Structure 1
Amino acid sequence: MLAAETGASRNTLLAYRGDLSAAAAVLGSVGDADAEALKALGSAWQPLAASTVARRASALRRFYGFLLEEGLRGDDPSDVLPRPKVKRPLPRLLSAEEVELMLADAADRAASGERLAVRDHALLELLYGSGLRASELVALPRRAMRPSEPFLILSGKGEKERLVPVSDAAHRAVARWIAASDDSRWLFPGGKAHLSRVRLFQIVRAMAGRVGIAPERVSPHVLRHAFATHLLEGGADLRTLQALLGHADIATTQIYTHVDSRRLVELVNQRHPLARRGSALRD
């Protein structure tokens, strides 16, 4: 159902399988467990983080909801599962100046023509300039970018398509990489398939370390956060940001509003009708 009806990604399917398997280790038969049996999960989950408990409980609720809808059970016992309050963590941030340092160093290294330096520059330009997820970036086909088009059409989470803008700088960096790389199905090949997410993570951290940024502060996802944060600071609205990031729910995008509260206050003071009226009264 998750694959066919909701278009869940392979990683999501694996996560659900893992959560159901963990529950089965405690309950035995998950499908036949009653409310009393489910209460045992509360004590079994005590050592786990609240976020892990919330995810596992959510997977089970969805599973029992599916069984009920399909007529495979006459009840849904999942109401007894714990509902821990999970505080969404704020994203780690890089300043625009720090990202500029990384980009400038990557461009300088790529100017030497060294093959991997050219690749790394293209990776960084796309990560920061388009806000791609790591999984989306490494799986780009070689023909994904066309010189005449300022965007990519991506199939992201849940196989949902979205338009992703590509900057002129990214176009140039990718064009140099294509000219320097071997012919492959993938834009960024690695081994027998495309570059792995783990290798991308290592590359990005190494690029940060070269310009004096603590590597543990940087990852492909941190660069995606930087893309979103700096767009918001530049005046982008949340709905536009939601579309660019490929978020199904705008609540996911709203986490970025914390980073620019001062600009939002200034916006209200400058644009709100009462602010203008106050100014007129002072005049």
Structure 2
Amino acid sequence: MNEHVKSFIGSLREGERKRSPYTLQSYERDLLQVLGYLAGEGIGRAEDVQKHHLSLYFRQLKQQGRAAATISRQMVSVRAFFHYLLAGGAVSSNPALHLEAPKLEKRQPQALATEEVDRLLTAPDRATDAGVRDTAMLEVLYATGMRVSELISLDLEHVQLTLGFIRCINAKEQERIIPLGGAAAEAVAAYLERVRPKLAKDGGQALFLNLQGSRMTRQGFWKILKRTAREAGIGSGLTPHSLRHAFASHLLQNGADLRSVQEMMGHADLQTTQLYVQQAKSRIKDVYHQAHPRAKRNP
């Protein structure tokens, strides 16, 4: 079935709905894990796979304590894979069609406090080339709320420092214009003037480069973020999405309207942005009870 997986991934890569390289890697990784399980059960042909085989596999994942989001994502991958095989005549039915996906818990995103963001953004050593670059990347993430995949996909032409905005293009090639605040613009300008010319070796257009002169990767940024978080004294719960969460929460706490935040974050559904509203309201309530001299009095 490995050949079927290669063919399936190739169809996604060349199809009208272009997937990002990270999405393709996720599909392939999920499918190879499932095929490995099936092979261990003595099932090597796609046409021999039955619904109960897949049900047992996903039940095993649940027993292992795998997250509901992980199990649900793998189900989507397997369902799409067998749909592709069915359309091509390789199987007569889709055994994953009626698998029951686990219920996903809608958790409020946890955002960094303002003082934590300040510590994180000032942690890199700006006397070094790497520190100047790292500061620029972190400042841009917090200033724009973009995803890490969008950050590392930025090219020089996407940044308009004099006009104060960034053109952000997501994996679906949808473009949005996001304002770039003064601190972020200054950090990017310092990086472009002092550091990038020394890193650039092949004349490429990538905005953020690693120390070898190639485009920054997700893995590379993740390592930078973990190191910077340690230096800033921030706990292990920090993820590459933390600054995106902080961007939305802090804007809403300070009076930004929901529609504007939705547009800047690139959310297709307003309900996704509304997850941040309750967090902002809770923060405002905490501030009120801490600061108002008569807030603790009983009525």
Inter-partner Cα distance in structure 2 for 1:208 and 1:44: 35
Decide whether aligned partners of structure 1 residues 72 and 131 sit closer, same or farther in structure 2, where only a CA change above 3 A counts: same
Question: Cα deviation per residue 1:30-75 (whole Å; 9 max; x = unaligned)?
Answer: 3653435444434443425133221111222233444556666554
Decide whether aligned partners of structure 1 residues 29 and 155 sit closer, same or farther in structure 2, where only a CA change above 3 A counts: farther
Counterpart selection for 1:2 from 3, 12, 29: 12
For the Cα contact (< 8 Å) 1:228–1:256, is it kept in 2? Answer: yes
Inter-partner Cα distance in structure 1 for 2:32 and 2:173: 25
Matched, 1:127 2:119: no
Inter-partner Cα distance in structure 1 for 2:32 and 2:60: 14
Q: In structure 2, what is the equivalent of residue 35 of structure 1? A: 51
Q: How far did residue 178 of structure 1 move?
A: 0.8
Q: Which piece of structure 1 moves more, 8-17 or 94-103?
A: 94-103
In structure 1, stretches of 5+ residues that fail to align are 266-283
Amino acid at match of 1:23: V
For the Cα contact (< 8 Å) 2:79–2:96, is it kept in 1? Answer: yes
Counterpart selection for 1:117 from 131, 143, 161: 131
Decide whether aligned partners of structure 1 residues 249 and 31 sit closer, same or farther in structure 2, where only a CA change above 3 A counts: farther
Decide whether aligned partners of structure 1 residues 17 and 101 sit closer, same or farther in structure 2, where only a CA change above 3 A counts: closer
Decide whether aligned partners of structure 1 residues 90 and 263 sit closer, same or farther in structure 2, where only a CA change above 3 A counts: closer
- TM-score normalized with structure 1 length: 0.77
Q: CA RMSD in A?
A: 2.9
Alignment of 1:190-205 (within 5 A): 190=210, 191-205=212-226
Q: In structure 1, what is the equivalent of residue 275 of structure 2? A: 255
Equivalent residue of 2:176, what SS?
A: strand
For the Cα contact (< 8 Å) 1:42–1:81, is it kept in 2? Answer: no
Alignment of 1:166-205 (within 5 A): 166-183=180-197, 184=200, 185=204, 186-190=206-210, 191-205=212-226
Inter-partner Cα distance in structure 1 for 2:239 and 2:58: 34
Decide whether aligned partners of structure 1 residues 48 and 65 sit closer, same or farther in structure 2, where only a CA change above 3 A counts: farther
For the Cα contact (< 8 Å) 2:51–2:96, is it kept in 1? Answer: yes
For the Cα contact (< 8 Å) 1:162–1:246, is it kept in 2? Answer: yes
Q: In structure 1, what is the equivalent of residue 229 of structure 2? A: 208
For the Cα contact (< 8 Å) 1:42–1:82, is it kept in 2? Answer: no
Q: How far did residue 146 of structure 1 move?
A: 2.5
For the Cα contact (< 8 Å) 2:132–2:195, is it kept in 1? Answer: no
Inter-partner Cα distance in structure 1 for 2:282 and 2:64: 39
Matched, 1:98 2:116: yes
Q: In structure 1, what is the equivalent of residue 24 of structure 2? A: 13
Inter-partner Cα distance in structure 2 for 1:220 and 1:210: 16
Inter-partner Cα distance in structure 1 for 2:189 and 2:98: 56
Inter-partner Cα distance in structure 2 for 1:105 and 1:42: 42
Equivalent residue of 2:101, what SS?
A: coil
In structure 2, stretches of 5+ residues that fail to align are 1-10, 286-299
Alignment of 1:152-163 (within 5 A): 152-163=166-177
Q: How far did residue 123 of structure 1 move?
A: 1.7
Matched, 1:225 2:241: no
Q: How many residues align?
A: 260
What percent identity do the matched residue pairs reach? Answer: 33
Matched, 1:86 2:86: no
Equivalent residue of 1:154, what SS?
A: strand
Decide whether aligned partners of structure 1 residues 24 and 208 sit closer, same or farther in structure 2, where only a CA change above 3 A counts: closer
- TM-score normalized with structure 2 length: 0.74
Q: How far did residue 98 of structure 1 move?
A: 1.9
Q: In structure 1, what is the equivalent of residue 3 of structure 2? A: none
Decide whether aligned partners of structure 1 residues 241 and 7 sit closer, same or farther in structure 2, where only a CA change above 3 A counts: farther
Question: Cα deviation per residue 1:129-186 (whole Å; 9 max; x = unaligned)?
Answer: 1112222223322343223322222221333222222112211111111111243233
Decide whether aligned partners of structure 1 residues 85 and 130 sit closer, same or farther in structure 2, where only a CA change above 3 A counts: same
Inter-partner Cα distance in structure 2 for 1:223 and 1:16: 26
